[in-house]
Structure 1
Amino acid sequence: MLDHIRIPVQDFARSSDFYRQTLAPLGYELVMEFDSSAGFGWADKPEFWISSSDASGGQLHIAFRAEEREVVRDFHRVALQAGGVDNGVPDVYEQYHPDYYAAYVLDPDGNNLEVVCHLPGDLQD
């Protein structure tokens, strides 16, 4: 069901060091880092992210996993109809990996919801 989650942190360096140490006993390690964000997980798959935020706080980010790209498109369409705000149209986001097909919507409280399919497009479209 869940693919990954991102929480906002105020002191990125301090939090990155904290989570490197704290998550190590669980087998998590730093697997990706860019733009003041760090992703921890296993075998090159980040599942828990931290990201810099100002003192006023940031948005919670929760990503749900889909097994088909059509589900990503359906989520985006239905979420907008339900009152969500577009935060990223269904598309391939290659900065994460070549088959990262996702859509993003802000919920009524401003939290960032994502649905992602990791399967290649030629298998899905």
Structure 2
Amino acid sequence: MIDHTGIGVADVARSAVFYDAALGALGLRRVMELPEGKGSDGIGYGVDYPVFWIDRFHPHSVKQHTAFAARSRAEVDAFHAAAVKAGGTDNGPPGLRGQGYPPGYYAAFVLDPDGNNMEAVYRGG
């Protein structure tokens, strides 16, 4: 079981605009910032503690993929809309996925400012 993970980004402030919106649609928020209260080196998103970090310490633009669990199809839709509005690039609109995916796999994909593929998925059918 993964406790937390994260990615390097080229510009924390620029990426924070994207992640504040996209992850906010899934109920996640900034719960930690490095330096504290400033967030210029790293930002941790979560509910009670950071589960996903963006930071300037790790390599950026390595085209990683991260999928976030959504609680409904509507949350997947909201994630996609918020992420695109905040500067993300559509990489697969919300919808049921077909061949190669489990039945009921409803997901959306958006590229962040560094080209990482971010996904929101609802597996409830």
Q: TM-score, normalised by structure 2?
A: 0.49
The structure richer in strand per residue is: 1
Q: TM-score, normalised by structure 1?
A: 0.49
The structure richer in helix per residue is: 1
Radius of gyration: which is bigger? 1
